[in-house]
Chain A
Amino acid sequence: MLAYVLKRTGAAIATLVAASIVIFIFIHLIPGDPIYVMLGDEATPEQVEALRIRLGYDQPIYVQYFYWAGNVLRGDLGTSIFFQEPVTLIIRDGAETSLLLATVTMVWIVALGVPVGVLAAIRQGTWIDQGLSGIAMLLASIPTFWVGLYLILIFAANLGWLPSSGYPSIFEEGGLSNLRYLLLPSLTLAAPNAALILRLTRASMLDVAKEDYVRTARSKGIRPYRVVLRHILRNALLAVVSAFGFTFAALISEAVVTETVFALPGIGRMVVQSILRRDYPVIQGVILVIVCLYLVINLLVDISYRYLDPRVDLE
């Protein structure tokens, strides 16, 4: 087990290093001198030169990379040009919103996608199944922001039941009731992904139902619902669990849009705004953190998969 975890962690770290190089080169490919972007038009040549040396931009590019990577390892992701604040602080400020949004969304995805997928599989071929599968494909074909705008139009603008934008921290006034600000965004974000999990659950339930061991389970005389839950679903979920890493990747991209639609103070909106403002240190730092998170999640998914499936040798 330990050997496996170490091996997978090593691979993840290698990917992270490769990704950090890509990010670094990416930022340096951007046309225009970042120093001018930082200082604006009015800077004197002396100021430009001073900043260039302070940031190490006079060094060869690989030296700059190691300089940056060294800082990252020490927990210093640089300073935002726009906010004049450490990037780590900016990420910390957005983390609560984004992590809560992701968590609530994952709850929706599992709570809606899996049971409805089971229902579609049990009723295979009936109009219930066809209807649910059709809805799932429709949901996967809708732009995230369109769903969000419609939810705002209906539940915030017309009915006035829920707030349309923003999110005050749950640690501030309002406490946990502030979570209602995340209700519409999380549903927006969950819709297409729950649809994918639904289709996946249905497909793998139908695959497993054909297995010989399901027939054995039936032959014992146990009740049909127990056959479904204990024998079919249990095995079908293996495929669903292994798709979670993938789902998370899809989630990040759509979270960027969702946070923008609902004006949530999260990391996703922050990175889009930073891209629009050409605030390179923030872009660089945030993307690195997101990639890191993605790799960690994939690692956890792989490891938990190996716990769930006894056939996989942990050595």
Chain B
Amino acid sequence: MLKVRNLVVAAGSPSAELDIVSDVSFEIKRGEVLGLVGESGSGKSITSLAVMGLLPHPHIWVRSGAIELDGADITEEPPHLRVERGHGGVSMIFQEPMTSLNPVLRIGEQIEEAVRVHDGSTGETARIRARELLEMVRIPDARLQLNAYPHELSGGMRQRVMIAIALACRPQVLIADEPTTALDVTVQMQVLSLIRELCDAFDMGVLFITHDLGVVSELADRVAVMYGGKLAETGPVADLFRNPLHPYTGGLMGCVPDPGAGHRRFRTIPGQAPKPGEVPQGCKFAPRCDHVQPVCRSGAIPAVAAGPAHAAYCHHPLSRELT
């Protein structure tokens, strides 16, 4: 099980630092998909890179908090140290399939490289495993494609290769950072259902990052909503959609096309997401919130709960069904 506790990520230099992610906590169990939702710039990628141990040193670093995998503290352990210490249970696929594969190495070599590190196998064994992985992500002609270069594949195929590389690391938890944003709609659907299937087949936890609540409602078991580097609301997907607590979640759901309505209804949240450094005191959502009260603009924001697993950070939550 992956646990992230009170994660704070800072950027800049130690003399002029700035928190770009603050106080983020969540858990992912095996076989469970956690959807992490938020507008662009809300800190989703930075959070996931922190969990991966891939923050670009020395500009961005974990200032406090802990990341634990099955009880072992893996905070700020880069992937190669995790492998060495037997903590190599998290792997990741990235947003940009076009640039995430090395252009001068064949697909096979790039998968085998991960296989060799995580299985300790070499030569023909690694090659066979690489082919199996390509078959698992449903790439036709897997044997042939092992010899292809990335530029010979489409975006969807490249993202499948990325998934194969991630699977080669035999993850307990797979992080997928907006994996379908750059893809065509049909391909998007195929990749999404592939991720869900692999999650079930390998009993793997998935941290699925997106700015699209619609995707989350299809795919996720639980949801975490981020705003301005903080968690706004977390909860099981059904509870959250039926009974959103945080005005920002409500706003996001207003942005979801409503299939029930005769016409497609988009209601965007007015205003802009805050940039780190210019965040207001108190609730970061206050400048854009319909329910804002003077109390929102200063001090800490209380947590409100609407069930054992459903909570939000807000003075005036949307729903009255609190427990």
Contacts of B113 in A (CB 8 A): 217, 220, 222, 230
Choose the segment among B75-83, B227-235, B250-258, B301-309 that binds chain A (4+ C-beta atoms closer than 8 Å). B75-83
Contacts of B103 in A (CB 8 A): 213, 235, 309-311
Q: Is the CB of A311 within 8 A of B99?
A: no
Q: Is the CB of B79 within 8 A of A213?
A: no
Q: Is the CB of A211 within 8 A of B99?
A: yes
Contacts of A230 in B (CB 8 A): 105, 113
How far is it, in angstroms, between the C-alpha of A98 and the C-alpha of B18 when the chains are bound?
A: 59
Q: Which of A211, A220, A224, A238 contacts B165 (CB 8 A)?
A: A220
Q: Is the CB of B104 within 8 A of A212?
A: no
Q: Is the CB of B117 within 8 A of A221?
A: yes
Q: Is the CB of B104 within 8 A of A234?
A: yes
Q: Is the CB of A220 within 8 A of B101?
A: no
Query: Interface size of B by Cβ–Cβ distance < 8 Å?
Result: 31
Q: Mark B239-280, 1 if CB is under 8 A from A, else 0.
A: 000000000000000000000000000000000000000000
Contacts of A221 in B (CB 8 A): 79-80, 82-83, 88, 114, 117-118, 169
Q: Report the nearest A residue to B162, measured CB to CB.
A: A216
How far is it, in angstroms, between the C-alpha of A289 and the C-alpha of B168 when the chains are bound?
A: 55
Q: Report the nearest B residue to A226, measured CB to CB.
A: B113
Q: Is the CB of B96 within 8 A of A212?
A: yes
Q: Is the CB of A216 within 8 A of B100?
A: yes
Q: Which of B80, B82, B101, B168 contacts A223 (CB 8 A)?
A: B80
Interface size band for A:
20 to 34
Question: Within 8 Å of chain B (Cβ to Cβ): is A231?
Answer: yes
Contacts of A310 in B (CB 8 A): 103-104, 149, 151
Question: Within 8 Å of chain B (Cβ to Cβ): is A154?
Answer: no
Q: Which of B92, B101, B102, B104 contacts A219 (CB 8 A)?
A: B92
Question: Within 8 Å of chain B (Cβ to Cβ): is A218?
Answer: yes
Which residues of chain A from 192 to 217 have any CB-CB distance to chain B below 8 Å in the complex? 211-213, 215-217
Q: Report the nearest A residue to B92, measured CB to CB.
A: A219
Q: Mark B135-161, 1 if CB is under 8 A from A, else 0.
A: 000000000000001010000000000
Question: Within 8 Å of chain B (Cβ to Cβ): is A50?
Answer: no
How far is it, in angstroms, between the C-alpha of A288 and the C-alpha of B104 when the chains are bound?
A: 37
Q: Is the CB of A231 within 8 A of B94?
A: no
Question: Within 8 Å of chain B (Cβ to Cβ): is A13?
Answer: no
How far is it, in angstroms, between the C-alpha of A215 and the C-alpha of B88 when the chains are bound?
A: 16
Question: Within 8 Å of chain B (Cβ to Cβ): is A263?
Answer: no
Q: Report the nearest A residue to B165, measured CB to CB.
A: A220
Q: Mark B39-83, 1 if CB is under 8 A from A, else 0.
A: 000000000000010100000000000000000000000111011
Question: Within 8 Å of chain B (Cβ to Cβ): is A142?
Answer: no
Question: Within 8 Å of chain A (Cβ to Cβ): is B22?
Answer: no
A-B contact pairs, 22 of them (CB 8 A): A212-B96, A212-B100, A213-B99, A213-B100, A216-B110, A217-B102, A218-B54, A219-B54, A219-B91, A219-B92, A219-B166, A219-B169, A220-B117, A220-B118, A221-B79, A221-B80, A224-B80, A234-B102, A235-B102, A309-B103, A311-B149, A311-B151
Residues of B within 8 A of A (CB): 52, 54, 78-80, 82-83, 88, 91-92, 94, 96, 99-105, 110, 113-114, 117-118, 149, 151, 162, 165-166, 168-169
Apart from A220-B114, A221-B117, A230-B105, list 9 A-B contacts with CB within 8 A. A212-B99, A212-B100, A215-B54, A220-B91, A220-B117, A230-B113, A234-B104, A309-B104, A311-B151
